[in-house]
Structure 1
Amino acid sequence: MGLRQSPVRDSLADGPADASRMRLSTVLLVVTAVLAFAGNSLIARTAIGQDLIAPGPFSVIRLLAGALVLLPLLRRKPRPEDIPGALALLAYVIGFSFAYRELSAATGALILFAAVQFTIIAAGLMRGERLGGRGFAGLTLAGGGIVWLLLPNAATPAALPTFMMAAAGMAWGAYTIIGRQGGDAMGQTARSFVIAALLSVPFGAIDPDMSTGRGIALAAFAGVVTSAFGYVLWYKVSPRLSLGVVSSSQLATPIVAALAATILLDEPVSWRLALAGAAVLGGIALTISPVRQKPEPRTGSSL
């Protein structure tokens, strides 16, 4: 299948019923996390795109709000090993916010998720995971669906915001890979938010006068709900998945965001959106579908 799947932890599933429950739990966590990611995109487009708040203050408030709500889950003080995840989170949030000041939504999403894909796939290959035929087909189909949806509407972007969004995508890919190490998902996310929030404070001085009450509220909501809550879920579920599944499942985010915008903004559902959604979901299904394993040979003697 994709980058060779590390199966959902066998030790957590003692039988078929346990395996089914674990599989359902994994799917629900992935779906909820993707909804949170899409929510971040919608909120950022609304707040920054409508000049309700500048990208710097938006980023700071988003991280501070997330850090405050996660503070009770901190459990221990941040340590040096928590710094890489925090820096990746900070780079993603800052690059994402500032890039959306100039990029169109379609262009930004295309650049972001292409960079995420490249980063995660490259990391998997470097770790020796193999890109099999099923995984290659799934990733190609899902990626093609994203391009089919977004590219016709993507204006030629300026160099600096393009670089910033690509850097944000690479940072999010790195943040995801760091989270795959497993362990205390809530504590790890809390420590990343606390460190990133403290480091982000200087960015709040960039155009602070642009901040409106609605913009501040949207940034705080993004920090508490679609960021802190969503990232805890993502850190919890990502260690259960192969890098191929992690990469492909995130490709659903632009589709979900587009559908949500259609519902919330009364935009019509186009045939292009329907076909792109089918391609992305089909690609994800190809990547997630389990590969049949050869039965292990019996050990011991038979009488």
Structure 2
Amino acid sequence: MASQRSVWLTVLAILAFAANSVLCRLALREGAIDAASFTAVRLVSGALALALILAWRDRGVRAIAAQGNHGSALVLFVYAAGFSLAYVELATGTGALLLFGAVQATMIGIGLYRGERLAVAQWLGLVMALSGLVALMLPGATAPPLAAAALMLVAGVAWGVYSLRGKGAADATAVTAGNFLRSLMWLLPLAIFAWPEEWPQGVGIAYGMLSGALASGAGYAVWYLALRGLASSTAATVQLSVPVLAALAGVVGLEERFTIRLLLASLAILGGIALVIRRGNER
């Protein structure tokens, strides 16, 4: 049974994860900032926020720099850049669903490659989830733009790989801080290939800072604290609420449409993943 503290920490972390999609879409939709600049502001702000958190824990800059590795930093950058570039065109809920589906599919797929075995019900859940992703991508009036959807899927794969690479880290917050710090080196090639035509507006920079410092940096730190009091099945299942919350925020706050296609795809993807997770933890 999770403690009351773990429950509240979990709620805060899930809200932060959903806020990432909302803040990015809000900033890009209003044209207050371009995708490359949003990525840069998010990563820099996230690195600073995590560094401050670790400094508060009496961990120096050298300790932060010693954590993480360049491979994880690269996939973290690919996730952040793909995420921002995709949200130039994707609706909030659609982007969050594609991201989450790709993350979970990647982690399950890598597990299978490493020799993990699925029960019949888990295979059914995996087929449901993949069918939902395919259905969401099929051509039609309510289909998301193909290029943007593909970018979000790439971002999801990158985040799935990043999650697996950091699994079992002794100090996940410190490792994440080190990876954020190392990811900044990739901002230079991003600037070369995607230099903004106009300087970002103040509100766009503010959205990026909120996404990086609070929704990403502080959000990840809170999540790692929450994980200490959660069963693995609970932690995995509760993340299913992120795309739903993002979609609701998009409908209410950004006046986006919640289509039948998105509803059916959400039921298939989230229901299928829930089946894989639940059955996996019962074995």
Fold shared per TM-score above 0.5 = yes
1:216 aligns with 2:205: yes
Question: What is the match of residue 194 of structure 1?
Answer: 181
CA contact (8 A) 2:21 2:95 kept: no
Count residues with an aligned counterpart. Answer: 269
TM-score of the superposition, structure 2-length normalised?
A: 0.76
* Shift in CA distance, 150/254, structure 1 to aligned 2, threshold 3 Å: farther
1:177 aligned onto 2:164: yes
Aligned to 2:243: 254
In 2 relative to 1, CA 270–56 (structure 1 residues): closer, same or farther, beyond 3 Å?
Answer: closer
Q: How does 1:138-177 map to 2 (within 5 A)?
A: 138-141=125-128, 153-158=142-147, 161-177=148-164
Which residue, 123, 126, 135 being the options, matches 1:136? 123
Query: Which residue in the other structure is 2:69 paired with?
Result: 82
Task: For 1:50 and 1:102, locate their aligned partners in 2 and report how far apart those are by CA, in whole Å.
Answer: 12
Match of 2:18 in 1: 38
Q: Scaled by the length of structure 1, what TM-score is found?
A: 0.71
Q: Which residue of 2 aligns with 1:288?
A: 278
- How large is the RMSD of aligned CA atoms in angstroms? 3.7
| Alpha carbons 2:74, 2:183 under 8 Å: kept | yes
CA contact (8 A) 1:249 1:284 kept: no
- Displacement of 1:195 in angstroms is 1.2
Amino acid at match of 2:232: L
Deviates more, 1:210-219 or 1:266-275: 266-275
**Amino acid paired to 1:21:** A
User: Is 1:54 matched up with 2:34?
Assistant: yes
| Mean Cα deviation higher: 81-90 or 258-267 | 258-267
CA–CA separation in structure 2 for the residues paired with 1:269 and 1:174: 30
- Provide the C-alpha distance between the structure 1 equivalents of 2:26 and 2:248, rounded to a whole number of angstroms: 15
Cα distance in structure 2, aligned partners of 1:25 and 1:138 = 32
Moved more, 44-53 or 227-236: 227-236
The offset of 1:47, in angstroms, is 0.8
**54-63 or 267-276: bigger deviation:** 267-276
Listed one character per residue, the Cα deviations across residues 168-212 of structure 1 (whole Å, up to 9, x for unaligned) are 111111111122223102111111111113432453561062401
Deviation at 1:232, TM superposition (A): 2.9
Gaps of 5+ in 1: 1-19, 294-303
Contact kept in structure 2, 1:180 and 1:235, CA below 8 Å: no
Match of 2:69, SS state, is: helix
Cα offset, 1:120, TM superposition: 0.8
TM-aligned CA distance change 1:217 to 1:136, over 3 Å? same
Q: Who is 2:232 aligned against?
A: 241
Identity of aligned residues (%): 39
Distance 2:78 2:266 in 1: 29
